[in-house]
């Protein structure tokens, strides 16, 4: 005879039909009742799939003792000793309905209530379960709160209503009832709608919310297929040839199709996400890598014919929509349902959606990546590494000072023991890192830029020479990169992000050291140029500076500043922005012809394996002539002078006379900085 375990003292290992999938046993986790609502997935109740009570086989005799589920509960909940006769005939029992206090000794006057009604469970996700999973739910005896003896009056009044629409008339039992409801939803990964969530939060507050509870073992991961493919079994993906391969299309949607065509027919799953924003697809990339299918993008309101045709070619077992109907409309879902079974994985926020996607793709994981959901490059770069080790990428609002309870609960549910934070403190706050480090072995991998962060991730998780292919995507926009990240994760290949024209130096060095035989450029040459695809690096460059006096007769010297080690330099001096003929060395002698002009220098650096780079300095002040000191009693030039003729510097200020007796002086003028004999 089955006996139901007490929640407060036992964390059970589920004993159910062999097809039912549960998470691995883990140490019991305690929390407060007030925290329960944050552990639940929020989404609109499903109305697209018709409910039939016959979908839930109930009142089974699981242990063959002639007592079915109804009688097992009656035996357990009788307040007086019960005699069990042949055929499970009961005598001597007394039952009290906790909903309204109704008491009876007649078996026929008591009903057995599913705390979460079967119809409610169906709308909350059970429609997607197998028959074995629904049978296990309908006959749940391993926790004391899933089924309860109730009066016919209260059971009929409750029907399939949630706590937003019905609560027990016995007010002293409301706290226990709402707690039981939330625990059942948690245990079976069933969603709650917004009104239901508000009711749970309201009731599980105050002294009720302070109640310490033990979280039960999770019986089914939300939406998870019963038979997941082996992690990273990429036999269905055609290998890339040596050298450079570009996967690109005329649009973001066609680029994703080009990536998808690497998969053979009969994939376990296809993920579909909106092509207008990144968060949902970002969460789906690592999940798609885990399940062995591609990620395709769609316009929100209509399934593009080319996308539809590609999904039909793939013949997936399941199509997963990432995001709610605001991201991917019901009309797109209807079109997809004509191809294969569809399951929508959405929530009230990008983080809720991400958590549900993770729950679907991962039954368990010892390691997880934590990345900001506000921008895409960090999580994108982590997808390849995550795929390589079979780890989820969990998005958080990185600017917050603490980890959401829902994210922490997800980590515990998966059995995670170590966490890698992707990005610096500006991406994921120190407060989140501190909180994580109290429970998990926590490492942060960041960098001075998105390019350096990706390179550091790949250097950490990919041994040199082991990756079959390395993937390069633009670090400036998301669409092309997301579909490729799912493929990279499945193939255990690193994902690098790059500038358009060339690969930033830190990524160039890391990618070259990886030594992958194949390089895959994601997107057209407009986003990843041919030079970037060939891993031609961007030289680290500085703005050159000029030293020296800007006076005619002086010499200026150019300093290129800090550049990539081994860079060779060429110089071109300019006067008022125009090149000075022959002025191509690191220094420039200032001739009188440069007087009044502003000088700058253009430095071009070059090195093998890099794209040459040219940087110009700031211009100097205008070049001036040497300052002339005129003596108080000017000396007289001994010979005759010619008006307007040049005079030497040593005669500056001297007096001289023409042959006709005109008095002249060697000096400059307001419009001419050169010394000439001018009228005194």
Output the pLDDT for position 626.
79
Question: Is pLDDT of 664 > 60?
Answer: yes
For the segment 503-550, what is each residue's pLDDT rounded down to a tens digit? 999 999 999 999 999 999 999 999 999 999 999 999 999 999 999 999
Name the pTM for this structure: 0.62
SS3 20: coil
Question: Is pLDDT of 336 > 90?
Answer: yes
Number of helical (H) and strand (E) elements in the chain, helices listed first: 19, 34
Confidence of residue 631 (pLDDT cuts 50, 70, 90): low
Q: 159 vs 101, 118, 127, 193, CA distance in Å? A: 18, 10, 18, 17
**Could you please report the per-residue DSSP string of 602-655?**
EEEEE-TTEE-EEEEPPP-PBPBPPPPPPPSS--EEEEE--TT-B--GGGTT-E
Question: Is pLDDT of 366 > 60?
Answer: yes
Please list, in sequence order, all residues whose beta carbon lies within 8 angstroms of the beta carbon of residue 58, skipping any fewer than 6 positions away: 69, 118, 135, 138, 139
151-157's contacts with Cβ under 8 Å and 24+ in sequence apart are 151/97, 151/99, 151/100, 151/102, 151/104, 151/109, 151/110, 151/111, 152/109, 152/110, 152/111, 153/100, 153/102, 154/97, 154/99, 154/100, 154/102, 154/113, 155/99, 155/111, 155/113
Output the pLDDT for position 23.
37
Of the listed ranges 565-574, 619-628, 637-646, the least confidently predicted one is 619-628
Please say whether the beta carbons of 253 and 307 come within 8 A.
Answer: yes
For the segment 390-442, what is each residue's pLDDT rounded down to a tens digit? 899 999 999 999 999 889 999 998 899 999 999 999 999 999 999 999 999 99
Confidence of residue 234 (pLDDT cuts 50, 70, 90): low
Per-range mean pLDDT, top range of 33-37, 96-100, 213-217: 96-100
CA distance 182 to 665: 104
Output the pLDDT for position 622.
94
Output the pLDDT for position 532.
97
CA distance 204 to 7: 18
Mean predicted confidence (pLDDT) in 622-627: 85
Output the pLDDT for position 221.
63
Neighbour order of strands in the sheet with 636-640: 636-640, 655-657, 663-667, 676-679
Please list, in sequence order, all residues whose beta carbon lies within 8 angstroms of the beta carbon of residue 619, skipping any fewer than 6 positions away: 577, 598, 599, 600
Of the listed ranges 87-101, 146-160, 281-295, 627-641, the least confidently predicted one is 627-641
Q: Could you name the CATH architecture of 545-616?
A: Sandwich (2.60)
Average pLDDT, the chain: 88
pLDDT higher for 30 or 530? 530
Of 626, 609, 640, 642, the closest CA to residue 674 belongs to 626
| Residues pairing with 30 in the sheet | 214
Output the pLDDT for position 17.
29
544-547's contacts with Cβ under 8 Å and 24+ in sequence apart are 544/601, 544/603, 544/615, 544/616, 544/617, 545/617, 546/599, 546/600, 546/601, 546/617, 546/618, 546/620
| Lookup: tokens for 665 | 């002086």
| Lookup: tokens for 143 | 């926790």
Confidence of residue 117 (pLDDT cuts 50, 70, 90): very high
**Could you please report the per-residue DSSP string of 390-452?**
T--EEEE-TTSSS--HHHHHHHHHHT--EEEEES-TTTS-HHHHHHHHTTSEEEEE--SSHHH
Of 485, 469, 609, 595, the closest CA to residue 535 belongs to 609
CA distance 4 to 384: 44
Give the phi and the psi of residue 372 in degrees, each rounded to 5.
-70, 145
Of 360, 298, 361, the closest CA to residue 334 belongs to 298
* Pairing relationship of beta strands 518-522 and 243-247 according to DSSP bridges: parallel
Mean predicted confidence (pLDDT) in 176-199: 92
Q: Where are the alpha helices (DSSP H) in 449-558?
A: 450-461, 479-491, 505-514, 530-533
For the segment 34-86, what is each residue's pLDDT rounded down to a tens digit? 989 888 887 778 877 788 888 898 888 888 888 999 999 999 999 999 999 98
Q: What are the boundaries of each domain within the chain?
A: 29-215, 243-533, 545-616, 636-679
Of the listed ranges 124-128, 386-390, 478-482, 606-610, the least confidently predicted one is 478-482
Cα 586 to the center of its chain, rounded Å: 47
Neighbour order of strands in the sheet with 555-559: 545-547, 555-559, 587-589
CA distance 63 to 56: 18
| Lookup: tokens for 375 | 């921008």
């Amino acid at each position: 005879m089955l006996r139901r375990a007490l929640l407060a003292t036992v964390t059970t290992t589920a004993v159910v039909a062999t097809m039912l999938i549960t998470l691995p046993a883990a140490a019991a986790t305690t929390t407060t009742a007030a925290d329960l609502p944050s552990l639940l997935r929020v989404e609109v109740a499903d109305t697209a799939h018709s409910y039939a009570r016959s979908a839930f086989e109930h009142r089974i005799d699981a242990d063959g003792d002639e007592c079915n589920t109804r009688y097992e509960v009656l035996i357990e909940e009788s307040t007086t000793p019960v005699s069990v006769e042949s055929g499970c005939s009961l005598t001597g029992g007394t039952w009290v309905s906790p909903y309204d206090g109704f008491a009876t000794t007649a078996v026929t006057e008591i009903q057995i209530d599913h705390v979460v009604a079967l119809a409610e469970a169906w709308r909350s996700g059970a429609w997607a379960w197998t028959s074995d999973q629904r049978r296990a739910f309908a006959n749940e005896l391993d926790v004391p709160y899933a089924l309860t003896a109730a009066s016919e009056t209260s059971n009929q009044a409750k029907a399939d209503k949630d706590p937003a629409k019905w609560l027990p008339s016995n007010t002293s039992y409301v706290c226990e009832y709402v707690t039981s409801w939330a625990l059942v939803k948690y245990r079976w990964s069933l969603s709650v709608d917004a009104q239901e969530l508000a009711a749970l939060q309201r009731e599980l507050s105050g002294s009720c919310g302070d109640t310490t509870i033990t979280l039960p073992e999770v019986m089914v991961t939300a939406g998870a297929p019963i038979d997941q493919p082996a992690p990273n079994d990429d036999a269905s993906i055609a290998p890339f040839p040596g050298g450079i391969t570009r996967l690109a299309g005329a649009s973001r949607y066609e680029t994703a199709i080009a990536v998808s065509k690497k998969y053979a027919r009969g994939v376990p799953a296809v993920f579909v996400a909106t092509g207008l924003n990144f968060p949902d697809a970002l969460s789906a990339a690592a999940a798609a890598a885990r399940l062995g299918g591609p990620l395709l993008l769609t316009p929100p309101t209509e399934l593009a014919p080319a996308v539809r045709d590609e999904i039909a070619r793939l013949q997936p077992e399941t199509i997963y929509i990432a995001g709610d109907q605001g991201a991917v409309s019901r009309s797109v879902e209807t079109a997809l349902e004509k191809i294969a079974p569809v399951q929508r994985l959405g929530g009230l926020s990008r983080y809720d959606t991400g958590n549900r996607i993770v729950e679907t793709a991962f039954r368990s994981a010892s390691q997880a990546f934590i990345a900001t959901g506000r921008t895409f490059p960090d999580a994108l770069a982590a997808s390849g590494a995550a795929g390589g080790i079979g780890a989820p990428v969990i998005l958080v609002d990185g600017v917050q000072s603490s980890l959401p309870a829902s994210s922490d609960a997800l980590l515990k549910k998966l059995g995670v023991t170590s966490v890698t934070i992707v990005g610096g403190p500006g991406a994921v706050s120190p407060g989140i890192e501190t909180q994580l480090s109290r429970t998990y072995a926590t490492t942060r991998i960041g960098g001075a830029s998105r390019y350096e962060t990706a390179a550091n991730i790949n250097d950490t998780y990919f041994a040199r020479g082991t990756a079959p292919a390395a993937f390069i995507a633009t670090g400036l926009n998301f669409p092309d990169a997301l579909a490729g990240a799912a493929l990279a994760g499945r193939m255990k290949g690193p994902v690098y992000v790059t500038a358009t024209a060339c690969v930033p130096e830190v990524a160039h060095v890391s990618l070259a050291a990886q030594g992958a035989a194949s390089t895959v450029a994601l997107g057209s040459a407009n986003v990843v140029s041919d030079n970037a695809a060939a891993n031609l690096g961007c030289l680290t460059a500085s703005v050159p500076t000029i030293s020296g006096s800007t006076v005619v007769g002086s010499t200026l010297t150019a300093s290129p500043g800090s550049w990539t080690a081994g860079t060779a330099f060429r110089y071109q001096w300019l006067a008022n922005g125009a090149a000075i003929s022959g002025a191509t060395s690191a220094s420039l002698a200032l001739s009188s012809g440069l007087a009044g002009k502003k000088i700058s220098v253009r430095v071009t650096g070059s090195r093998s394996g890099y794209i040459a780079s040219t940087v110009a300095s700031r211009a100097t002040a205008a070049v001036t002539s040497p300052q002339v000191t005129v003596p108080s009693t000017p000396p007289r030039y001994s010979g005759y002078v010619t008006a307007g003729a040049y005079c030497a510097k040593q005669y500056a200020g001297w007096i001289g006379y023409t042959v006709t007796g005109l008095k002249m002086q060697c000096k400059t003028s307001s419009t001419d900085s050169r010394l000439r004999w001018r009228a005194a």
